[in-house]
């Protein structure tokens, strides 16, 4: 039973081609969905990360 798979910009074409060869229907999202930016503290250090898919970046002050 084929599945319908929605994917976002940036997925390798060879991955999409293979999924279609296996009988899956594929569809690329027109817009990017949710993103996340996060900050975590581990002991005395603080770490940040931004979702690169929407042009996010992390800057810090030392």
Number of domains in the chain: 1
Is 41 inside a domain boundary?
yes
What single string gives the DSSP state of each residue in the chain?
---EEEE-TT--HHHHHHHHHTT-EEEE-SS-----EEEEEETTEEEEEE-GGGT-------
Assess if residue 42 is contained within a domain.
yes
Is residue 16, in this structure, part of any structural domain at all? Answer: yes
Q: Assess if residue 61 is contained within a domain.
A: no
In a domain, 48, yes or no: yes
37 and 51 Cβ atoms separated by less than 8 Å: yes
The model's confidence at residue 29, banded by pLDDT at 50, 70 and 90, is confident
Taking the C-alpha atoms of residue 34 and residue 13, their distance in angstroms, rounded to an integer, is 22
Is residue 29 within 8 Å of 6, Cβ to Cβ?
Answer: yes
pLDDT value of residue 62: 56
Has residue 33 got a pLDDT over 70? no
Global pTM? Answer: 0.53
Q: Which domain holds residue 12?
A: 4-54
């Amino acid at each position: 039973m084929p599945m319908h798979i929605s994917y976002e910009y940036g997925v390798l074409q060879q991955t999409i081609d293979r999924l279609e060869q296996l009988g899956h229907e594929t569809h690329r999202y027109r817009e990017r969905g949710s993103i996340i930016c996060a900050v975590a503290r581990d002991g005395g250090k603080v770490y940040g990360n931004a979702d690169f898919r929407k042009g996010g970046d992390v800057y810090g002050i030392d």
